[in-house]
Homo-oligomer: A and B are copies of this chain.
Amino acid sequence: MAVYTDISEAELGAFLAQYDVGDLQSYRGIAEGVENSNFMVHTTTDQYILTLYEKRVNADDLPFFLGLMEHLAERGISCPVPVHRRDGAALGTLAGRPAAMVTFLEGIWLRRPQVTHCAEVGRALAEMHLAGEGFALTRRNGLALADWRPLWEKSRSHAADVEAALEEETESLLGRLEVEWPRDLPQGVIHADLFPDNVFFLGDRLSGFIDFYFACNDTLAYDIAVCLNAWCFERDRAFNVTKGRALLNAYNAVRPLSDAETAALPILSAGAALRFMLTRLYDWVMTPEGSLVVKKDPMEYVAKMRFHREIRAATEYGLDR
């Protein structure tokens, strides 16, 4: 929730002069996003989001992220589109950091999404998965199964401070995932972080996806599992099967799930819950007191891990079969 890097009007003016976007009218730091510094920029022609990539983002990954948004937008997916400089580049430098401008996407992220929004997300996720086909660049998932144990080892000794049973439960689930994780499901480009704050709506209509900075090549159905975790639980941590049904069936109507994908949903969902529990736990125990980073409670995802552990079939999430 912070702008990490401030920029002067002279720096920004020189940066914008490389683009064909008119003259600067105003810019404001946006108090959203924890990885990068974001500014809303108005020029005489349009408005844009300017992102300065801070050190948590690997600059080598930026061509993948920017290229993906462009690839998806060309195929009808609503998302921010990188603006190219006069020399053709989509990536520049500002205040010593890699920087890019993307088009401004109207829409609101929903603090309390309802069933109808879950259906919209399911449909749009399937459309994004189909549109991702043919994208030339690849990026491995930096938070895939193989990365979970090293991450776990870094915060494991603090797990008992969060919840007495957490160490044993995590060990048990991680061990099972390492044995049973499905490896031959359909692959493709996934968003990998499609939480409500990354999906915009205008009224009840989904207006676009943002924040592709975890996107990668991985199991498509894992992206659905992330969404089940992110969209279909209530604030009391109870799974809302009506939301699950809406999301899964809307997805399935656009990109029908194979039997293998359907069968794998419970384990993929448990894995997704573990992945977010692990990063939250790590931030929870490692972030210095008083840091600008807003820490999210890992216990929310511990509850989800427990829920998925008891699921035996995707029909229990609401998928019609």
Band of interface residues on A: 35 or more
Which of B2, B32, B201 sits near A28, CB closer than 8 Å? B32
Inter-chain contacts of A92 with B (CB < 8 A): none
Q: A29-B32, A200-B26, A202-B25 are in contact. Are A3 and B1 (CB under 8 A)?
A: yes
Query: Which B residue sits closest to A107, measured CB to CB?
Result: B26
Cα distance A125–B42 when bound, in Å?
26
Cα distance A27–B29 when bound, in Å?
13
Q: Does A316 touch B at the CB level, under 8 Å?
A: no
Inter-chain contacts of A2 with B (CB < 8 A): 1-2, 31
Tell me if A28 and B3 are in contact (CB < 8 A): no
Q: A262-292 toward B: CB 8 Å interface, digit per residue (1/0)?
A: 0000000000000000000000000011111
Q: Is the interface of A mostly helix, strand, loop or mixed?
A: loop
Query: Which B residue sits closest to A9, measured CB to CB?
Result: B108
Inter-chain contacts of A136 with B (CB < 8 A): none
Tell me if B107 and A25 are in contact (CB < 8 A): yes
Q: Does A112 touch B at the CB level, under 8 Å?
A: yes
Q: Does A177 touch B at the CB level, under 8 Å?
A: no
Tell me if B290 and A24 are in contact (CB < 8 A): no
Q: A83-116 toward B: CB 8 Å interface, digit per residue (1/0)?
A: 0000000000000000000000111111110000
Q: Does A40 touch B at the CB level, under 8 Å?
A: yes
Tell me if A29 and B1 are in contact (CB < 8 A): yes
Q: How far is the CB of A106 from chain B (nearest CB, A)?
A: 4
Q: Does A165 touch B at the CB level, under 8 Å?
A: no
Q: Does A146 touch B at the CB level, under 8 Å?
A: no
Which of B110, B200, B290 sits near A288, CB closer than 8 Å? B290
Which of B26, B106, B109 sits near A108, CB closer than 8 Å? B26
Tell me if A29 and B30 are in contact (CB < 8 A): yes
Q: A152-180 toward B: CB 8 Å interface, digit per residue (1/0)?
A: 00000000000000000000000000000
Tell me if B30 and A28 are in contact (CB < 8 A): yes
Inter-chain contacts of A20 with B (CB < 8 A): none
Tell me if B40 and A111 are in contact (CB < 8 A): no
Q: Does A14 touch B at the CB level, under 8 Å?
A: no
Which of B8, B25, B108, B111 sits near A112, CB closer than 8 Å? B8
Inter-chain contacts of A290 with B (CB < 8 A): 288-291
Q: Does A133 touch B at the CB level, under 8 Å?
A: no
Tell me if B9 and A111 are in contact (CB < 8 A): yes
Inter-chain contacts of A10 with B (CB < 8 A): 111-112
Inter-chain contacts of A203 with B (CB < 8 A): 23
Q: How far is the CB of A209 from chain B (nearest CB, A)?
A: 14
Cα distance A8–B26 when bound, in Å?
26
Q: A4-34 toward B: CB 8 Å interface, digit per residue (1/0)?
A: 0010111000000000000111111111100
9 residue pairs of the A-B complex, CB under 8 angstroms, read: A2-B31, A8-B111, A9-B109, A9-B111, A24-B108, A25-B202, A26-B105, A26-B108, A289-B290
| A-B complex: 3 closest residue pairs judged by Cβ atoms | A290-B290, A29-B31, A8-B111
